[in-house]
Amino acid sequence: MNLAQIGDEIHSKRIQVGLLQEHLARFAGLSRVTINQLENGTLKDLGYTKLKAVMDVLGLRMETVQPSGLKSALAVAARSISTSYRDVITPDMLSMMLRSGVAPEQFQPHLMALLDETPLPVVVKAVAEAATPDVPAKKIMKHLSLWAKQWKVCRTVW
């Protein structure tokens, strides 16, 4: 959710509870102009403490939620890194390679594509999907880092 969407929620809740912008601003320790800009989606930035004060007055909570859309990052990653190659990596194969840290030679170009070109949110979610109690995500990230160093990948985040 972005700040404009949060502002819409704040506007709806403020109207529902019968507060004027002026009242909400005073209760939260902000200016009416700030509340107006927040509700209209024109406010560029508002710190956590200030936003939380507004939401607390209205009884709204801040929560993180799992974004919808990407069902299986392992499947998306496996499909995308196999696009340009004759040999195809399945999601199960990718998961096994990530957990073991073993990259068969014929799949090293695929894994380089994972490290260099696959969107980072997909990589992070694929790592989480591949992780097990025996091989936690932290260990898989170490494998990725070692591969990145070994193969001198271009993306510098590793």
- Give residue 156's pLDDT: 86
Residue ranges, comma separated, of all CATH 1.10.260.40 domains in the chain are 3-58
Q: pLDDT over 70 for what percent of the chain?
A: 96
Per-position b or e across 133-146, b if 16+ CB within 10 A of its CB: eebeeeebbebbee
> What is the Cβ-side half-sphere exposure of residue 79, based on CA atoms within 13 angstroms?
6
Q: Which of 15-29, 36-50, 60-74 comes out lowest in average pLDDT?
A: 60-74
Domain 3-58 matching CATH 1.10.260.40: the answer reads yes
- In the block, which residue shows the tokens 């932290």? 138
